[in-house]
Structure formats: C-alpha cells, structure tokens
C-alpha cells in the first residue's frame, strides 16, 4: 500500500449470498470490529441488487460504503431485468464491480461490454471496480502480462483522463477465485505493478500512481497482511471471507496497519 498517493480499499463481494433478514445481525457484528470513519481504509460491501436498499440502511452513518455487483451499460430503456448507473446513484450506491470473471465466463461479458459499463459508471460518478485477471492455462503458457494488459487497455478505452480518478482496478487471477489458491505476495505485486505501468503508459505516471489496485483471489484473514504489505496492492476484493464479519474485520484492520 502507498497511502501517500492513493486510497486503501477493502471491498466485500457477497456474490449471490445473504438474505435481508440477516443483514442487521451482520452489521451489528461487523461494525464494532472495524474503525469506521477514523479508518485509513475505505470499507465497502458489494451486495446483490435486491439487498442494496437494506445494506444502505443498516450501514447508514457507519462509514461503510455500498457497491453493486454489476450494472447495465445503457442509461434507460427496454432492457428488462437490467439496472442502470443512474438508478444505482439515485439509491445511494457509490461503487460497482464491473467485468468480474464470473460475469465474463457465465454471462458472456466481453472487453467491449466492460468498457461500455466503465464509461457509463464514471459518467454517473460511480466508482467502478474493474476486474482483470488470467486463467491458469494463460499463466502456465506465460501470457499473464499480455492478458492483463489487454483487459486494462480495453476497459479504459476512451475514458477521459479527468475521469480516471474514480476508477479502481482489481487484479483477480481466475485460478485463485473461490479455490483457496492465492498468488504469492511477490507474484501478486508483480502483476499489480505491471497494471500500474499499463495505466502509466495511457495516462502518465502521476495519474497511474493515484489509481487504487486491489488484489482479489482468495484474500482472507490469514494472508491479507502479507499481501497488503506490497507497495502496489492497495486493498482487496474479498469473496467468501467477506460473508463472515469477524474474518472480514481482520482484513479491514490489516489494511489499517
């Protein structure tokens, strides 16, 4: 982490988990364990669409931000089942995950659709958490940097430099998501540093230094401290561990050291 230049962010991705009936108890367990507004770290919960209103309510005035897990690239219209950036902002949502590998693999999201969503999110003043990462096969054949470079460049294509400040990149090696496997701190740092160099090639070094880069891929309460000690890892996008308040709090507190 390098707090001199950029924010530290721990974002929980609940995926398709949790019920509204359990949110009050979750918040009551989590909040006493984390620093709140006095934190070095921005803590965010990214919840399913149907839970966003209740998440906003239970975390009101707590300092915990709220994020969605997806959004439409379209502003409005005949897109049944979709949710627009403007609707998220109107609700009070501040963050949105874009391009998660599960969305790419299971629902056919492409680099082009990810780019369209990034542009729509930043235009609406949402903070997109843009996911990039390689498969195990891509890592094995030595094209990790090529894959990640292409994903970053495609996601940011056409984004004006003045809107880059709202963007967050999350490096999530696909082979580590939900598997219990984790990139070593050195490997994760190397890829995150490369991502920053790609952003620098597009927007300049000063702008690149200001972009938070998170690590996802089985970051948990056991390995967070070592991963977060790396200079180009500015936080985490946390899956399973974010469903457990005590484990999630350990990660948030690791980011505050």
R_g of the chain computed on alpha carbons? 17
Catalytic residue among 102, 109, 134, 172: 172
Inside any domain, residue 1: no
Sign of the C-alpha dihedral computed for residues 227, 28, 14 and 155 taken in this order: negative
Residue 38 pLDDT: 57
Inside any domain, residue 120: yes
pLDDT exceeds cutoff 90 at 241: yes
| pLDDT tens-place string over residues 33-74 | 998 765 689 999 999 999 999 999 999 999 999 999 999 999
Residue 34 pLDDT: 93
pLDDT exceeds cutoff 70 at 23: yes
Inside any domain, residue 24: yes
Inside any domain, residue 137: yes
Inside any domain, residue 180: yes
Give the domain range for residue 245. Answer: 8-255
Residue 39 pLDDT: 66
Catalytic residue among 100, 102, 127, 194: 100
Residue 145 pLDDT: 97
| Overall domain count for the chain | 1
| pLDDT tens-place string over residues 180-228 | 777 899 999 999 999 999 999 999 999 999 999 999 988 999 999 999 9
**Mean pLDDT value of segment 6-30:** 97
Inside any domain, residue 2: no
- The percentage of residues in the chain with a pLDDT greater than 90, rounded to a whole number, is 89
Inside any domain, residue 205: yes
Contacts of 89 (CB under 8 A, 6+ apart): 124, 125, 126
Q: Is 13 helix (H, G, I), strand (E, B) or coil?
A: strand
- Active site includes 172? yes
What are the b/e assignments for 205-239, b being 16+ CB within 10 Å? eeebeebbbbbbbbbbbebbeebbebebbbbbbbb
- Lookup result for tokens 């599960």: 102
pLDDT exceeds cutoff 70 at 19: yes
Query: What CATH number is attached to the domain comprising 200?
Result: 3.20.20.70
Residue 37 pLDDT: 60
């Amino acid at each position: 982490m390098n707090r001199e230049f950029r924010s530290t962010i721990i974002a929980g991705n609940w995926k398709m988990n949790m019920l509204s009936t359990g949110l009050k108890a979750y918040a009551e367990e989590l909040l006493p364990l984390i620093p709140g507004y006095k934190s070095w770290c921005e803590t965010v919960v990214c919840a399913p669409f149907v839970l966003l209103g209740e998440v906003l309510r239970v975390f009101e005035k707590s300092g915990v931000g709220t994020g969605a897990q997806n959004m439409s690239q379209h502003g409005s219209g005949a897109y049944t089942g979709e949710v627009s950036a403007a609707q998220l902002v109107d609700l009070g949502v501040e963050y949105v995950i874009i391009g998660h590998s599960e969305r790419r693999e299971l629902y056919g999201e492409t680099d082009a659709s990810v780019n369209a969503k990034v542009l729509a999110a930043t235009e609406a003043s949402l903070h997109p958490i843009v996911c990039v990462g390689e498969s195990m096969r891509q890592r094995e054949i030595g094209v990790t940097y090529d894959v990640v470079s292409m994903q970053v460049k495609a996601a940011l294509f056409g984004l004006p430099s003045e809107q880059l400040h709202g963007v967050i990149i999350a490096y999530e090696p696909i082979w580590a998501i939900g598997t219990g496997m984790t990139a070593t701190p050195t490997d994760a740092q190397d890829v995150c540093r490369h991502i920053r160099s790609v952003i620098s090639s597009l927007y300049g070094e000063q702008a690149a230094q200001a972009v938070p880069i998170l690590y996802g891929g089985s970051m948990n309460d056991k390995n967070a401290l070592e991963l977060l000690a790396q200079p180009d890892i500015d936080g985490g996008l946390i899956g399973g561990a974010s469903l457990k308040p005590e484990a999630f709090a350990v990660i948030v507190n690791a980011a505050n050291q």
